[in-house]
Amino acid sequence: MNQDRSLKVLILAGGMGKRLWPLSRKRWPKYMLRLGMEKSLIQQAYERINADKKDRYIVSSREAGFLIEKEISSADVYFVKENLISEPASRNTAPAIMLGINNFKDDDIVVVLPADHIIEGDFEETIYRAKEIALEGYIVTIGIKPRTPATGYGYIRKSEENILEGWKVESFREKPNLETAKKYVESGEYFWNAGIFVFKVSVMREEMKKYAPKIYESFEEIREGSSLDEVYRNMKGISIDYAVMEKTKKAAVVAFDGKWDDLGSWESVFNILTSKNGSYKSKNSLLIDSKNTMLYSEGGKLLAGVGLEDIILVDTDDAILVLKKGQGQKVQEVVEELEDSPLITYHSWDSRPWGGYRVLESSPGYKVKILEVSPGKRLSLQSHKKRDEVWTVMSGKCRATLGEETRDLRAGDTVKIPAGLIHRAENTGQTVLKILELASGDEIDEEDIVRYEDDYKRC
C-alpha cells in the first residue's frame, strides 16, 4: 500500500435533520447534537480522519458557520477557521462538493464525509484502502455491509470485477421495499450507500464536466472571477449520486464492516442508546414496568413512564414528541405541519455569533428574553419596525447605542427602545453581559430586524 497518508478531508454540514425534531432545528441542526455522547456529531466527523489540521475543510450554510466555528474551536484550539466554507444557498451535495474542491489542487485526494453520522471500527484504514483505488482514477464510495434488510437506505451493487481491495460498482439502487431489501442482503452483493466518497480532484471535475456540465460550467465561471453568490444561487440543487455516481463508469466501492448509522430517525437513536434490557431513559427520567421504550430529555422536567412498550418520547424546553416505534419517518410530517412555527427554527435558547438568548415567555403582544453577550462581542446596529423593547441590565457592563446617543450601563439600569430607533448592545466587561429584554407590539417576529452594521457580515 502507498505509504503517503495525506488526504484532504471535506465535511458536508448541511440540512436540519427534520426527522430528529424537536432536538434538531433550523438554527440547531442535527450535526450539533450530542445525543448523550461526549462529543457532538460534527466534532466526531472532524476527528474521524487523522489528517493535518490545515487539510480539514467544512462546507456549511452561512447561517450555521458561527455555530460550527464555536463547536469545533471548543474541541480544537488549532482549528483553521479559514477552512470553513460557506454556501451562499443550499444546493445539495453535488454543488457543495464542487464548492469544497475549488480550494484544492487537481492531484489532491479528497475524502467527503457527512457531518452527522455515527461510525465505529477500522474506518480510517478503510478510507486509505479507498485512496489506493482513487489513485487509479476511480471515484470510490464506501459501502456499509448491511446488518439488516433496511428500507431507509439506498443500496450499491458491486460487480464481479475487483479493483485492488474493492470492486467496480455495477449499479446504485433506490431505497427498496422490505422484500427487495431482504433479497439484497441475502445475495451478499449489496452494500448500504453511506454517502462517503474518496476521489482525485481532477477525476471528479472530469466526471462532473461529462455528466453535470451546467454545474461544471458554473464553477468555471466562479474560478474565472464571476460572483460566487450570484452563480451559486442560480444553480439547481442536485445530489452527487444523481449528478455523477449513477452515470459514471469510474465508480468503485470499498466495504466497511464496522458500526455505522446515519441517525436518520429516532429509531436509529434508540438503537444507539438502548441498554441490554431494551430501554433507555435520561438521568431525570423514570421507567417502571416498561420495555423497548426510550425517554429522552434535555428539558428540566422529570419524565416518568409506567407500563410503556415500543414508545419513544423526546422532551425539550418547548416541545415534546411522542411516537410509536416504527413511525419515526413520519416525524418529518410534523415538521411540515409546523412550517411557519418558530418551533422548527430555534430552541428556547438560540445561539448567536455574539452569544445567544433564552426565551422566558412568549404570548401575543409581548416576548420576554434574556440576552447573553460574550465579552468583547456586540449585537448588530439594528432597528425594528413593529416592536418596542425595554432593556434592563442584569449583570455585566453594557455600552448601549440609542440613536445618536451612547450610554454605559450597569446592573439595574434600564433603557427604552421604541420601534424604529437604531440601537446596539456591546459587552465592554470581562464577564458575560446579561440583559432582560421585554418586547411588545402587535407583531413580534425575529425576522423583524433591519441591520445597518454587523461584525458577522449579516447585512
Alpha-carbon torsion, ordered 78, 347, 416, 66, to 10 deg: 20
pLDDT over threshold 70, residue 351:
yes
Count of the separate structural domains present in the chain: 3
Strand order, beta sheet including 349-352: 349-352, 355-363, 366-373, 433-440, 388-395, 414-417
Dist CA 321 CA 83 (whole Å): 37
Residues 81 and 219 in one domain: yes
Range of the domain at 79: 7-261
Q: For Cα atoms 434, 449, 227, give the angle at the middle one, nearest 5 degrees.
A: 115
Does any domain span residue 408?
Answer: yes
Residues 309 and 385 in one domain: no
Does any domain span residue 333?
Answer: yes
Residue 19: CATH number of its domain: 3.90.550.10
Residue 435 forms beta bridges with which residues? 371, 393
**Using one digit for the tens of pLDDT, what is the confidence trace for 173-203?**
999 999 999 999 999 999 999 999 999 999 9
pTM across the whole model: 0.92
Pick from 293, 312, 338: which residue ends a domain? 338
Does any domain span residue 459?
Answer: no
Pick from 228, 261, 294: which residue ends a domain? 261
pLDDT over threshold 70, residue 1:
no
CB 80 within 8 A of CB 53: yes
Residues 216 and 148 in one domain: yes
**Using one digit for the tens of pLDDT, what is the confidence trace for 265-297?**
999 999 999 865 689 999 889 999 999 999 999
What are the DSSP calls for 303-316, one per residue? EEEES-BSEEEEE-
Dist CA 74 CA 79 (whole Å): 9
Does any domain span residue 343?
Answer: no
Amino acid at 53: K
**Using one digit for the tens of pLDDT, what is the confidence trace for 117-140?**
999 999 999 999 999 999 999 999
Residues 174 and 220 in one domain: yes
Residue with cell 452569544: 355
Does any domain span residue 271?
Answer: no
φ, ψ dihedrals at 144, nearest 5°: -90, 125
Dist CA 149 CA 152 (whole Å): 9
Residues 383 and 298 in one domain: no
Residues 88 and 212 in one domain: yes
pLDDT of residue 4: 65
Which run of H or E residues covers position 178? helix 178-187
Does any domain span residue 267?
Answer: no
Cβ neighbors of 191 (< 8 A, separation 6 or more) are 143, 144, 145, 146, 155, 156, 158, 253, 255
Residues 17 and 165 in one domain: yes
Strand order, beta sheet including 294-297: 280-281, 294-297, 311-315, 320-324
pLDDT of residue 374: 97
Residues 145 and 243 in one domain: yes
Mean pLDDT of the chain: 95
Residues 330 and 353 in one domain: no
Residues 20 and 151 in one domain: yes
pLDDT of residue 457: 86
Does any domain span residue 458?
Answer: no
Q: For Cα atoms 122, 7, 121, give the angle at the middle one, nearest 5 degrees.
A: 10
Residues 108 and 253 in one domain: yes
pLDDT of residue 284: 86
Residue 255 DSSP label: E
CB 15 within 8 A of CB 332: no
pLDDT of residue 2: 57
What are the DSSP calls for 416-435, one per residue? EE-TT--EEEEE-SSS-EEE
Does any domain span residue 270?
Answer: no
Pick from 292, 316, 338: which residue ends a domain? 338
pLDDT of residue 298: 86
Residues 300 and 359 in one domain: no
